[in-house]
Structure 1
Amino acid sequence: MDKKWRASKSSQEIVETVACDDRYDFDFHDLDRVQRRLKQRHVQMIAVAGTIGTGLFLGSGNALQVAGPLGALIAYALVATVAYSSLCCIAEMTTWAPISGTFPHYASRWVDPALGFAVGWNYFYANAVTVPVEISASVILMTFWDENKNHAAIYTAIIVVFVCAINIFGVQYFGESEFFFSIVKLVLIIVLLLTGLIVDLGGSPDREVIGFKFWANPGAVNRANLVGDLGADRFLAILNVVIQAAFSFKGMELVCIAASETENPRRNIAKAVRRVFYRILVFYMLGILMIGMLVPFNDPALLSRVGTAAQSPFVIALNRAGVKAFPHLINAGILASALSSASSFLFASSRVLYGLSIRGQAPKWMAHTTKKGLPIAAVLTSSAFALMSFMTVSAGVETVFNWFVNVVTTGGFIGWFSINLTYVYFHRGMVAQGYNLKKNIYNNPLQPYLAYWGMGWTLFFVLMNGYAVFFKFETSLFLTAYINIPIFAVLYFGYKWKYSTRIWKPLEMDFVTGIPTVEETELPPDPPVTFFEKVGAVLF
């Protein structure tokens, strides 16, 4: 065994690092076959795509109806901070080690190989199951134009083929599709925000100035109708929306998962993550604020669960104001969001599965790639989950959709918790071994407290995900809310028992082996020359 040793700078004690054990060999240069084909504009738009989706366009209406305008704003703002903390944690680790396997590999390398195994498989199936969720949403959106239920299977087949083809053709096609979908979503949300502001200020055909009158009547925060105490009941209503909001923000970390296939990954990911905060603030927070101004939470139309643009609070508000031109445009934009999300989650699940395979934590054949660096075996395996969307054709679209949402939401919380936990260990090890974290290409000055914030709230979310079931117990709802917890425990303790893994101490962590240097990944930036290049540099 080729032993590797590191001397502690504080005590000069000779310690054995992770790389000393062949079972945890991280020298992957002869294994990792993916290629860096995603460009800066792709990365920037993937970051945008991760923050705008069906949760904002459709799910925000249910959030408004459940918690009221202020309650929905508080819930989305809280989840936004937790999602942002998780993104900052994974971004800092990724800019240090832009390699395949992403945060499950970081968990194996810097916390415990058993945690990496459990996190990787949890994240894989959570994202793989989200693919049919988004495909089901796309099929529902098609009913806005075609109400014939007999066509659902045809639309499902078409969308499944389309989403899988984007990923099978290669990462460059995935990047271009995300670039296009993101532009559609950006244009749509900007148009909706501007139109909503005009309507609110009295620019609609009926000339009514709305302002914040719905915050006064029927009120700023709705009740959950679960307990008698008014304050506690309103808190439970907000908590209910927190769980839904988490599904809306799920997938923000995709930009870091794509690091091993990104040109100049350290510079581009750092740039994208620094701008995500402002995109969340502008698009999500202004979007939630706007619908709370335009639609009262007791509007009967918000009770609709048709899953099309007719359910969107933006459409409801514009219809109420006499503006009838937007529903078809909005439905098309939401459809683009659903297709983008399905493609993104398929990409994420396949890359995590590929990373598990090259680390020996998944079957070896799943590490097979094409000559162009596409992990085709992992992509095809993940694509098979898309076929689950055909369940909606016979089992009822809304029932299956909601069941999937509940399952994957818990998986997403566990993933975020693991990212923040891994960063805490990463930070501890870097400090112990004398590394200057501020010299990393991306470093958040609020760390490690940002990671502690994310850990605390995600653990709370995991435990409270299905709280409503205890007021009116239903076995199926309880299982979908909490089944991921025992699954994760079995994965972690099962792997730990079989391989006798242990939690790494700070001085044992390996921050060097198999990690490309900055000189190996980063090319000198080309300064913009023309007017359009300068505009692109600002936007992307």
Structure 2
Amino acid sequence: MYEEKATTPPLNSEKQLGDSSSLEKAGSDPHDYAVHADDDRYHFDAADLDRVQRRLHQRHVQMIAIAGTIGTGLFLGSGHALQNAGPLGALIAYCLVGSVAYSSLCAIGEMTSHAPISGTFPHFAARWVDPALGFAVGWNYFYNNAITFPTEITAATILLSYWDSNTGHQPIYIAVLCVCACLINLFGVRYFGESEFAFSIIKLSLITGLIIAGLVITCGGGPDHTRHGFQYWRNPGPIAEFLETGGLGKFLAILSVLVQAAFSFQGMELVAIAASETQSPRRNIAKAVRRVFYRILVFYILGVLVTGMLVPYNDPHLLSASGTAAESPYVIAMQLAGIKTLPGIINGAIFTSAFSAGNSYLFVSSRILYGLALRGQAPRIFTKCTKKGLPIMAVGFTCLFSALAFLSVQSTANQVFNWLVNLTTVGGFFSWATMNLTFLRFYAGYKAQGLDRKKLVYYSSLQPYLAWWGLFWTSLFILINGFAVFWDFNASGFLTAYINIPIFFGLYFGWKLYRKTKWWKAKEMDFFTGVPTLEETETPFVPPTTIWGKIFEFLF
């Protein structure tokens, strides 16, 4: 069996290890790690040492968690969900997908609470399921986020057209935004944390203000003083129909929005991916994961409920494909109510949201590439770090993907760009499915080896049922991702909807055959090698004593 090498604790903030030989698995007894001095497979090279540094503070982590749950999918995508499924259909879809997203986050949150190290869930998959699964999901997640990075930059550029409709300026805007995102990441994780902190405050302020404004308008507080209530649930109705397909149409309408809503929720796992660069990661990530449930409930579910009260699903403005705030249901509601000054402000805030998303995807993909390189599943050059712990080669290589954004400028290349975007759509579902599958194996290994999950800083009492729930639905999302193409079949639509499935399994079986890997048995899993102790990662918690300190602690 191929032995996957584990990472050692970070050199900067963890205890440095003098013995460089270690095992990810060395027998059926998890506490028995023999040193095979004559076997090179069990030795760490300098490239295998994790050198990132813990520079993210509590407030960064909490706001990054918010940034992962609020984005353009909520501000703009909720309008398309309303149009396709109606107010009740959209609400059902977002509730279901929210529960699936939460199950995936709980799974990775608990595993990260045990092992807050670089590589995150691809490393966990390699360590507790099969090294080939870690390789497949790691590369899948890398190229999915690396391609989504220029996609978000393009979305931000389109938002700028709200003020500047001159298409000749688009390449300039793309270049400026790409350079800004790359510089933020090249300056180091602390600058990334500060930028996401600021962007998240804007997002939080925007969605809170929009929900409050929506409630005021629906209660008759707008300039037209019209009380909307739930009138649009009665006329045109609670659920739209998919392509007017009769009785089946309402079900298919909800089904179509399930996939769309899932795209909106993707990105929550960012907070766990940043664990290896977070101060007191176990305590701070546990706090962030616990609060995500309420953020989903308030911002997504309440937000979708309010939009369904403000705008009828057959409103012609919802058909807008401008990519700007003009297609936001909140903006449409304000225009219908006679409010004319806020749309430009909302567009500016959504612009920062799109740029923040691109910034985050660049960060995430570079750290996943770094984690792959640490395990020998990517070229070792990507393990190179600066003295301040920045994986400079991984970040620099990922920045090169920004050039793909320029494909959207030329009409001849725009189709290629759209294909690349569509190739990534199912990648997030594979990631969620892998998180839940890996947790089920993690759960089995903990139980088989007599370890107590309740001693972890974070654990969910709803597990393993949450993981089974998440695994079932994410597997279904993968299968129904492109179901609409069968109503108007075309080869390119089918290919872009489902090509990621053979790519993923090609990566999995290719690495499995190349390295002859096998699934880990529960009693053989290694839960200790290279995993820092609580004393090595956590600083003592000092409770706030002032009123402002208590407010800060409550918010962040």
2:209 is the alignment partner of 1:191? yes
What corresponds to 1:205 in structure 2?
223
Per mean C-alpha deviation after superposition, the further-off stretch among 23-32 and 263-272 is: 23-32
- Look up the SS of the partner of 2:410 in the other structure: helix
Q: What pairs up with 1:401-420 in 2 under 5 angstroms?
A: 403-420=419-436
What letter is aligned with 2:456? N
- In the TM superposition, what is the alpha-carbon distance from 1:25 to its structure 2 partner? 6.8
Q: How has the CA–CA distance of structure 1 residues 134 and 530 changed in structure 2, closer, same or farther, with 3 Å as cutoff?
A: same
What letter is aligned with 2:308? G
2:438 is the alignment partner of 1:438? no
TM-score normalized with structure 2 length? 0.92
What corresponds to 1:280 in structure 2?
296
Q: What pairs up with 1:141-540 in 2 under 5 angstroms?
A: 141-225=159-243, 227=245, 229-230=246-247, 232-395=248-411, 403-540=419-556
Distance 1:17 1:348 in 2: 34
Distance 2:510 2:296 in 1: 38
Residue by residue, what CA displacement relative to the aligned partner does 1:223-273 show, whole Å, maximum 9, x if unpaired?
01163x32x211111111111111111110000000000000000000000
Q: How has the CA–CA distance of structure 1 residues 403 and 294 changed in structure 2, closer, same or farther, with 3 Å as cutoff?
A: farther
- In the TM superposition, what is the alpha-carbon distance from 1:475 to its structure 2 partner? 1.4
Q: How has the CA–CA distance of structure 1 residues 72 and 27 changed in structure 2, closer, same or farther, with 3 Å as cutoff?
A: farther
What corresponds to 2:70 in structure 1?
52
Distance 2:260 2:37 in 1: 41
Q: How has the CA–CA distance of structure 1 residues 40 and 225 changed in structure 2, closer, same or farther, with 3 Å as cutoff?
A: same
Residue by residue, what CA displacement relative to the aligned partner does 1:477-512 show, whole Å, maximum 9, x if unpaired?
111111111001110001010110000000110000
Q: How has the CA–CA distance of structure 1 residues 197 and 25 changed in structure 2, closer, same or farther, with 3 Å as cutoff?
A: farther
Distance 1:285 1:24 in 2: 49
What letter is aligned with 2:115? A
Q: How has the CA–CA distance of structure 1 residues 328 and 451 changed in structure 2, closer, same or farther, with 3 Å as cutoff?
A: same
Per mean C-alpha deviation after superposition, the further-off stretch among 469-478 and 29-38 is: 29-38
Q: How has the CA–CA distance of structure 1 residues 388 and 522 changed in structure 2, closer, same or farther, with 3 Å as cutoff?
A: same
What corresponds to 1:78 in structure 2?
96
Residue by residue, what CA displacement relative to the aligned partner does 1:43-83 show, whole Å, maximum 9, x if unpaired?
00000000000000011111111111111111111111111
What letter is aligned with 1:191? G
- In the TM superposition, what is the alpha-carbon distance from 1:395 to its structure 2 partner? 2.9
Q: Is the 8 A contact 1:19 1:26 kept in 2?
A: no
Distance 1:528 1:417 in 2: 39
Distance 1:19 1:423 in 2: 33
What corresponds to 2:10 in structure 1?
none
Distance 2:39 2:100 in 1: 35
Distance 1:18 1:289 in 2: 60
What letter is aligned with 2:110? E
Q: How has the CA–CA distance of structure 1 residues 533 and 396 changed in structure 2, closer, same or farther, with 3 Å as cutoff?
A: farther
Residue by residue, what CA displacement relative to the aligned partner does 1:20-49 show, whole Å, maximum 9, x if unpaired?
986477899961010000000000000000
Residue by residue, what CA displacement relative to the aligned partner does 1:125-149 show, whole Å, maximum 9, x if unpaired?
0111110110110011000000011
What corresponds to 2:18 in structure 1?
none
What corresponds to 1:115 in structure 2?
133
TM-score normalized with structure 1 length? 0.95
Residue by residue, what CA displacement relative to the aligned partner does 1:358-412 show, whole Å, maximum 9, x if unpaired?
1100000011111100001000111111110111111389866754543222000
- Look up the SS of the partner of 1:263 in the other structure: coil
Distance 1:501 1:438 in 2: 31
Q: How has the CA–CA distance of structure 1 residues 23 and 287 changed in structure 2, closer, same or farther, with 3 Å as cutoff?
A: farther
Distance 1:358 1:212 in 2: 55
Q: How has the CA–CA distance of structure 1 residues 462 and 290 changed in structure 2, closer, same or farther, with 3 Å as cutoff?
A: same
Q: How has the CA–CA distance of structure 1 residues 68 and 510 changed in structure 2, closer, same or farther, with 3 Å as cutoff?
A: same
Distance 1:209 1:430 in 2: 55
Distance 1:398 1:75 in 2: 31
Q: How has the CA–CA distance of structure 1 residues 248 and 21 changed in structure 2, closer, same or farther, with 3 Å as cutoff?
A: farther
Q: Is the 8 A contact 2:181 2:358 kept in 1?
A: yes
Distance 1:519 1:252 in 2: 27
Q: Is the 8 A contact 1:73 1:285 kept in 2?
A: yes
What corresponds to 2:16 in structure 1?
none
Q: How has the CA–CA distance of structure 1 residues 417 and 18 changed in structure 2, closer, same or farther, with 3 Å as cutoff?
A: farther
For structure 1, the residue ranges without an aligned partner over 5 or more in a row are none
Distance 2:377 2:232 in 1: 54
Distance 1:523 1:278 in 2: 27
- Look up the SS of the partner of 1:409 in the other structure: coil
Q: What pairs up with 1:6-25 in 2 under 5 angstroms?
A: 23=41
Q: Is the 8 A contact 2:430 2:474 kept in 1?
A: yes
Residue by residue, what CA displacement relative to the aligned partner does 1:185-209 show, whole Å, maximum 9, x if unpaired?
0011111111110000001111110
Q: How has the CA–CA distance of structure 1 residues 62 and 21 changed in structure 2, closer, same or farther, with 3 Å as cutoff?
A: farther
Distance 2:91 2:500 in 1: 28
Q: What pairs up with 1:25-104 in 2 under 5 angstroms?
A: 31-104=49-122
- In the TM superposition, what is the alpha-carbon distance from 1:531 to its structure 2 partner? 2.3
Distance 1:503 1:523 in 2: 36
What is the CA RMSD across the aligned residues, in angstroms? 2.3
Q: Is the 8 A contact 2:186 2:392 kept in 1?
A: yes
- In the TM superposition, what is the alpha-carbon distance from 1:333 to its structure 2 partner? 0.8
Q: Is the 8 A contact 1:19 1:513 kept in 2?
A: no
What letter is aligned with 2:320? S
What letter is aligned with 1:484? N
Q: How has the CA–CA distance of structure 1 residues 21 and 328 changed in structure 2, closer, same or farther, with 3 Å as cutoff?
A: farther
What letter is aligned with 1:492? Y
Distance 1:448 1:18 in 2: 36
- In the TM superposition, what is the alpha-carbon distance from 1:357 to its structure 2 partner? 0.3
For structure 2, the residue ranges without an aligned partner over 5 or more in a row are 1-20
